[in-house]
Structure 1
Amino acid sequence: MDDSKGSMRNFIHFHDVSKSFGITKVVENLELEVEKGEFLSLLGPSGSGKTTILMMLAGFEETSAGTILLDGERIQELPPHKRGIGVVFQNYALFPHMTIAENVAFPLRMRRLGRAEIDSRVKRALERVRLGALADRRPDQLSGGQQQRVALTRALVFEPKVVLMDEPLGALDKQLREEMQLEIRELHRRLGLTIVFVTHDQSEALTMSNRIAIFDKGKISQIGTAAEVYDHPQNSFVAQFIGETNLLPATVAGTEGGALVLDLGEGARLRAAPAATAAAGLGTGARVMVSIRPERLHLDPEAGEGRVAASIDDVVYQGDHLRLHLSRGDLRLVARCERRSAAPAVGAPVHVSVAPADCAVFPA
């Protein structure tokens, strides 16, 4: 094993970490490693434990069990200001009575740097995020996006080992949120930051992350790159939580050419490649769930092997694409297709197919 790669992977290491509030276990036996310079998003519904994990790493919550290592050092006994970690909160937590420059200078003053060094760092940091001209204003004189940049600058100015972000873009409107996503991505690349980012917004996680850890009830349900968790979900929770999917009950009818033949009912059958199945040994008669992304369903003009006949129940215009709601008896499907000169008509018969590699299959 490459030792250097192992140490990179262990820059942050949660080892068997649990956290309980009374009898409620919020995080359970967490094993999580983060590389130096990585952008890792913690994604999950409310109450899944992701913010608690961030707060334990920052030092604002104590662990109930287990060990947290940062760059090989156990940090549970260190107070937050000695961990070398910058934190950006959803509400920015700026001091309203201080100017922008004073807000950014605060963590440097806490670390007792000299006045000249503080002034130099603050000026350089504000210019980097294009806020130098606003240094003497107070937070309530800035827009939401400007306040977010100040909070980010304050978290970066003391050159932390790690930056933690707890839903920092949640209060921004859609356009500004997308602009700030790209801005944070650029800062991450340019400065080589290690970022742990908490969000419940799946598109945000897909846009920004090197890897995504999807949490459910205090445990990691799946961790991987954006493409891995989207294209190859390992269970139905991940398939439903990240992106849109058709999640259909089915029965394994047998194998054909190495692929599973799936009976969806209503006389509809599809094939799934072995690599697309989340569990080995699914034999004939096994009850399963099959996940198919809407954009992976193809509309074919004619019937044929592996094609399912259906009718169009609704056509939803979404600007750059159309969402088609399809049915065959009790079977319901959603397909996403490009706009064409003539949109398909409601009630028209269609045939849909999907590549075997695009069917993710899990035990029911």
Structure 2
Amino acid sequence: DNIDTAISSLSMGTSHYATECLVAALKDTPYDTGLDMNLLTEIAAYFADVKKHYAKYESDFKGVDIKILESQIPGGMITNMENQLREQNALDKLQEVLKEVPRVRKDMGYPPLVTPTSQIVGSQATLNVLTGERYKIITKETRECVLGKYGKLPGPLDEDLLAKCTENEEVIDCRPADLLEPEWDRICEELGDSVTSEGDRLSYAMFPKVALKFFETRGQPAPEAPPPPAKPAKEPAAPERSAAPAAVPPAGGEDRMVFNVRVNGRDYSVEVSTSGAGAPAPAAAPPASSAPAPASTPAGSAPSSNEQGTAITASLPGSVFSIKCQVGDTVNPEDTLMILESMKMETEVKSHIGGTVQSIKVKEGDNIKTGDELVVIG
């Protein structure tokens, strides 16, 4: 038998049980691991220092939470949910999402919570909570899972969800791979001589846009890891709330300043340009002015002043996977305008009005935030 563990400095929470604890528990038993506790202590100390460089990725989910026995989701899935909700400024919705996961899983016929179906269920549960309406937005992967394209599901499907997913397609009852056309020759032709490794070609087949970007940057030097968070300087008679962070002047006399800022218990290094400007304003407080609105505006706001029409905005952050319309196209309500890649899933952006596409504010590969303008329809 095998048991997955993690060194103590990287254990618990969304990770595995601590290696040292299990080694100590099994010592002098027939299952003694024979591992040297002194060496494990050195390893733990090493990774405790490494961990500081990745503090911003650390999950807030720590210790032991028995509610996981109800939601039944793996640790990596929780970390991903936290990141998704943090991008939406909705981290307070985490418990709602955890409660929604088993409901979505039941609706979808109890797919196993392992990659990739765990991500499909988790992303759909997150969308259900964030939109305030169950299955208002259905990801492409959720739809395909319900249609049987990930294989036969072990349980019955929810009738309402099935009806929404079968508006334009039928459930398949054969082996999904039997429906795929051979594509190896096409992939080799598209990549040409620039990619010759079979592994790279397979990566491109599964994640074409991500793989191409990876191929471009693979040979470049890796960026240096950020320094560990700096400890705040001690101040005499410091008030209860910390004073403004001290600025650290950069080397070389550049017109930039670096601030060490602590937010919600986490330390961040923020670089601010001081060229031609006074004191930097907080990022969360946009200036009020009568200047023309930028290309990206909050959801529900009017389109830019130099255009007459209705802006279709992003309902969630992500990247533009593909654009399905062109300027001048006539569109009807519920027509698909583009596909976003968000939370590792593909989500259709549909028009809620009819009209003519006046402008497209983004291009394929662009990263977008919630509320950014995507298309203007007049």
TM-score, structure 2 normalization: 0.24
Quick check: which one's helix share is greater? 2
Higher share in strand: 1
TM-score by length of 1: 0.25
